[in-house]
Structure 1
Amino acid sequence: MRPAAALLCLLALPAQAGVDLSRWKLTLPVDADANGRADEIADPAGASVPPWFEQDGQDLVFRAPAGGARTTGNTAYARSELREMDTSGRPAAWDCLQAARRMRLEQRLLATTPAKPEVVIGQIHDARDDKLMLRYVGPPGANGHSDTGRIEMLWNNAARAGTLDPAYVLGQPMAVDIEIRQGRLAVRYRNLASGLDHALEARLDPTRIEGACFFKAGLYIQACSTTDLAGQPNQACLRKGWAPARHDAPEARAEVRIQALELDSPPR
């Protein structure tokens, strides 16, 4: 359900010629109706919820704070993120071990939270957990705006990992092709500033898959604050038992800008 426009300060914008949002649902790091869950927009085309989601020309801008609303009380992290839908407007659900699917992304990660500079910027998810994550991990002592970190690929519920870019500088444009074909993953990553072109392949573990799969794009921060923006405790964050230096301020935020986003079925 689309939350009330007055609650979300939802702004109607002219139709854009950029990313086609008809195949996506948007989750936001806000709880405007105070029901304890992050708000969603079922049809985000032409929507703007400053500062968390904005359409700037043909680009999509996503921001999420460490103290943002979460999807459930059991998760510590907030997101400003798209979830794949099918052509009928229902949540997409395809077989991770049989389907042939592809997502193409062009994007720039512009900012991270400084205390724990970790951000997921693309996923394949099943009914329970992530099957593939693209994750940026920044350096100790990060400033969140000009750091050099690494971009890695994690799969099988993060049981396996490989590095796509060992020296990604925040703000650099990247192009990523994620293809899954009958349980085999192929990810091609290109840093359009440095010229790095790297590919990784992997196979999903059938015993780790629960239910159907779907793509996600946007911003899912891997940082949290002990209290949220409303001053309420984030119990899931507290349960992690981190040292105080690992907790970000509630207002600390990450930002990603997507220039291109496509879904298709690759040729056989």
Structure 2
Amino acid sequence: MNINKLILILALSSATPALAQQLPSEILNLNNWKLNVPEGIKPPGRSDEYKQPELHTYQHPQWFHTNASGDAVVFRANTGGTTTSGSGYPRSELREMKEDGKKNASWSSSIGTHTLFIDQRITHLPLKKPHMVVGQIHDDLDDVIVFRLEKNKLFVKMGNEKGPVLEENYQLGTRFTVSFKVKQDQTDCYYNGQLRFSYPKAFRNAYFKAGAYVQSSCQGKRKVIGESCDAYGEVEIYRVSLKHE
């Protein structure tokens, strides 16, 4: 084999992690989710979307794959990635669906009880603007409430309003759980199993999201000066579950 070709193959193999034998769908229940990744192959220039049944067998060596120990799923979004039409920031993120992934989920804060639980650890942040959302409730207009990490501060955020700090000095790689529980127009926020905040707000046409949604970009209207397009945010999710009662 030509020596230059061999060097190229070795370089590519070291830059891109090998896909695991185990699929993400074998770790997480993805039946009622769809996935957006920061790659624009399907519609060029826009975030690719994977729905069921395609999501059941989907994995990607960068954006969405099983971790090395085989007990969690890695979600990665780079700041140079493509975005969804409603955002200037890239994401590798699940969006809640219903009827085994056939239709978009849409529920009201005033009817029933709606719960999202995530067991995860944040492993990497962009360098210049180290901000990332790792769980959210969205309505038909915008995000309602999110769990967000800014450098070391893990907190709850509602639109432009900052809520309580959950962890003042979060260390990357630390595993934790968060949960939203919505009932009677109130959202209860749990951190490591403890109720930390209740947010009174009515909303409708709502759905949950989970994964890595970086809040930095190297390009476009959200460009952060000095941010490399290879910078990225990453989270490993051990478990994510939905409940509607």
TM-score normalised over the length of structure 2: 0.83
Richer in helix (by share): 2
The answer to whether structure 1 residue 176 and structure 2 residue 178 are counterparts is yes
Matches within 5 A, 1:208-247: 209=203, 211-226=204-219, 234=220, 236-238=221-223, 244=225, 247=226
Q: From 116, 119, 129, give the equivalent of 2:132.
A: 119
Q: How many Å separate the matches in 1 of 2:20 and 2:167?
A: 38
How far the C-alpha of 1:12 sits from its partner, in A, is: 10
Which secondary structure does the structure 2 equivalent of 1:223 belong to?
A: coil
Equivalent residues, number: 221
Match of 2:46 in 1: 37
How far the C-alpha of 1:158 sits from its partner, in A, is: 3.2
Q: How many Å separate the matches in 2 of 1:13 and 1:265?
A: 32
Amino acid at match of 2:168: P
- 1:217-243 Cα shifts (integer Å, max 9, x gaps): 0011001103xxxxxxx2x124xxx6x
- 1:117-141 Cα shifts (integer Å, max 9, x gaps): 0000000000110011000000xxx
Q: Is there any run of 5+ residues in structure 1 with no aligned partner, and where?
A: 1-10, 139-148, 192-196, 227-233
The answer to whether structure 1 residue 107 and structure 2 residue 104 are counterparts is no
Which secondary structure does the structure 2 equivalent of 1:216 belong to?
A: strand
Which secondary structure does the structure 2 equivalent of 1:168 belong to?
A: coil
Say whether the 8 Å CA contact 2:97–2:103 is kept in structure 1: yes
Q: How many Å separate the matches in 1 of 2:87 and 2:180?
A: 26
Match of 1:86 in 2: 98
Q: How many Å separate the matches in 1 of 2:180 and 2:236?
A: 18
How far the C-alpha of 1:102 sits from its partner, in A, is: 0.3
Amino acid at match of 1:254: G
Q: Is there any run of 5+ residues in structure 2 with no aligned partner, and where?
A: 1-18
Match of 2:157 in 1: 154
**What is the root-mean-square deviation of aligned Cα atoms in Å?**
2.1
Amino acid at match of 1:39: D
Q: How many Å separate the matches in 2 of 1:62 and 1:17?
A: 15
Match of 1:4 in 2: none
Amino acid at match of 1:25: K
Q: From 57, 60, 79, give the equivalent of 1:46.
A: 57
Which secondary structure does the structure 1 equivalent of 2:168 belong to?
A: strand
Match of 1:203 in 2: 200
